[in-house]
């Protein structure tokens, strides 16, 4: 990944080197500097472009992905979108297994990009019909195909250890006191946390959890246990993936959907930033961390993707009403 100042050679070379945006409303509110890594500006539109590129490049290097091969993956959408763009640019095919509960925008986008898309019911990981388990089985039964395996493939967090973490360190000139992010695979959180702790062990690294995820109770009470639910997508887990192993965790904040959507509407209306659901969890967690550390600190999080990917849900009055949200309370009206 090269400088944004020069000409980039094609899709893959354009991944990364995203801006780090100071969020005025949240910074003024907390007296801290709240920074968001603008991953929605990656060429495939999300933070997962980085992991997708590292996974494909590693499979090419190891020889497991050969000319004309197929990349198979179970994904909430964004990894699949990144993989499909890269597959197109390198002459591979993409076969994507996605839970049918994910936004129609992401599912349709995958089809438009040219992936073969199979939707499956949203069932827990222990069920063989789970999207991740199905993707592993489908890949194993195909010729010249690899399973990207983003949850347990360490190429995922290496992407963030080698690129996202160093970029945040350079962009803040090392003046950073906190890092927080929600986890799906855990690649983004753990790759950046491991890098920042290596640079300065005093930096606080904090996991943000939505309801409906099992890891808040794991960090607080040593027991994986799911409580409640969330309409956010791409985050939450009920197991410790390989990408999460040995990650530093100083604290964990659990954020509810009302707070997450309130903050999304605030940054849309006050800062002009139109962002996806997981970003609401991340920004709310950054505000909690700012309050914990006190004024004068610098806290970074990740702006995983843009709001247009969820227009039919998070930014749709009928959907929000059907889920029982009070439109005034969440700042929608
Ligand atoms: N936010 C969104 C919108 C995502 O799609 C994902 C990836 N599933 C994440 C956050 C979490 O990223 P990671 O897999 O690196 O933990």
Domain ranges of the chain: 12-42+164-322, 48-147
CA neighbor of 188 nearest in space, from 42, 21, 32, 85: 42
Write down the pLDDT at residue 291: 98
Residue 266 is among the residues annotated as catalytic for this protein: no
- Nearest protein Cα to ligand 1, atom 5: 234
User: Ligand 1 center to residue 235 CA distance, Å?
Assistant: 6
Selecting among 48, 93, 197, 313, the annotated active-site residue is 48
The two domains 12-42+164-322 and 48-147 share their CATH topology (first three levels equal): yes
- State CA 221 to chain mean position distance: 25
Q: What is the CATH number of domain 12-42+164-322?
A: 3.40.50.1100
Q: Which residues contact 265 (CB under 8 A, 6 or more apart)?
A: 330, 331, 332
Between the CA of 75 and the centroid of ligand 1 the distance, in Å, is: 10
Q: Which residues sit with their C-beta closer than 6 Å to ligand 1?
A: 46-48, 76, 78, 182-189, 233-235, 276, 278, 304-305
Token digits of residue 93: 């095919």
User: pLDDT at position 320, please?
Assistant: 97
Class of domain 48-147 (CATH, top level): alpha beta
Q: Which residues of the chain are modeled with pLDDT < 50? A: none
Nearest CA to ligand 1 atom 6: 234
Which tens digits make up the pLDDT trace of 267-314?
999 999 999 999 999 999 999 999 999 999 999 999 999 999 999 999
Question: What is residue 333's predicted lDDT score, i.e. its pLDDT?
Answer: 83
What is the pLDDT at residue 4? 60
With 0-12 / 13-18 / 19 or more C-beta atoms within 10 angstroms meaning exposed / middle / buried, residue 296 is: exposed
How far apart CA 129 and CA 122 sit, in angstroms, is: 8
Over the stretch 103-130, which tens digit does the pLDDT of each residue have? 999 999 999 999 999 999 999 999 999 9
Angle at Cα 84 formed by Cα 102 and Cα 171, nearest 5°?
85
Integer Cα distance of 134 and 261 in angstroms: 32
Instruction: Give the position, in ligand 1's atom list, of the atom nearest the Cα of 305.
Output: 3
pLDDT digits (tens, 9 = 90+) for 198-209: 999 999 999 999
CA–centroid distance, residue 113 to ligand 1 (Å) = 20
């Amino acid at each position: 990944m090269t400088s944004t100042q020069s000409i980039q050679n094609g899709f893959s070379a354009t991944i990364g080197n995203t801006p780090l945006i100071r969020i005025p409303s949240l910074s003024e509110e907390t007296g801290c500097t709240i920074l968001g890594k603008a991953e929605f500006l990656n060429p495939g539109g999300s933070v997962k472009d980085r992991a997708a590129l590292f996974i494909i490049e590693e499979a090419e290097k190891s020889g497991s992905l050969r000319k004309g091969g197929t990349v198979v993956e179970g994904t909430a959408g964004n990894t699949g979108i990144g993989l499909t763009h890269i597959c197109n640019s390198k002459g591979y095919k993409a076969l994507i297994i996605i839970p049918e509960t994910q936004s129609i925008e992401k599912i349709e986008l995958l089809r438009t990009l040219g992936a073969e898309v199979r939707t499956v019911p949203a069932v827990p990981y222990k069920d063989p019909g789970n999207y991740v388990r199905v993707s592993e089985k489908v890949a194993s039964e195909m010729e010249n195909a690899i399973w990207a395996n983003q949850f347990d493939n360490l190429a995922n967090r290496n992407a963030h250890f080698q690129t996202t973490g160093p970029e945040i360190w350079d962009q803040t000139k090392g003046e950073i006191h906190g890092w927080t992010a929600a986890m799906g695979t855990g690649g983004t959180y753990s790759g950046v946390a491991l890098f920042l702790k290596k640079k300065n062990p005093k930096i606080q690294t904090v996991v943000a959890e939505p309801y409906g995820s099992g890891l808040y109770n794991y960090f607080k009470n040593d027991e994986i246990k799911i409580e409640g639910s969330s309409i956010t997508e791409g985050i939450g887990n009920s197991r410790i993936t390989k990408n999460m192993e040995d990650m530093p965790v100083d604290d964990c904040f659990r954020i509810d959907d009302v707070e997450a959507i309130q903050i999304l509407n605030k940054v849309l209306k006050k800062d002009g930033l139109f962002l996806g659901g997981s970003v609401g969890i991340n920004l709310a967690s950054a505000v909690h961390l700012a309050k914990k550390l006190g004024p004068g600190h610098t806290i970074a999080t990740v702006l995983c993707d843009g709001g247009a990917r969820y227009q039919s849900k998070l930014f749709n009055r009928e959907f929000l009403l059907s889920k029982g949200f009070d439109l005034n309370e969440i700042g929608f009206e």
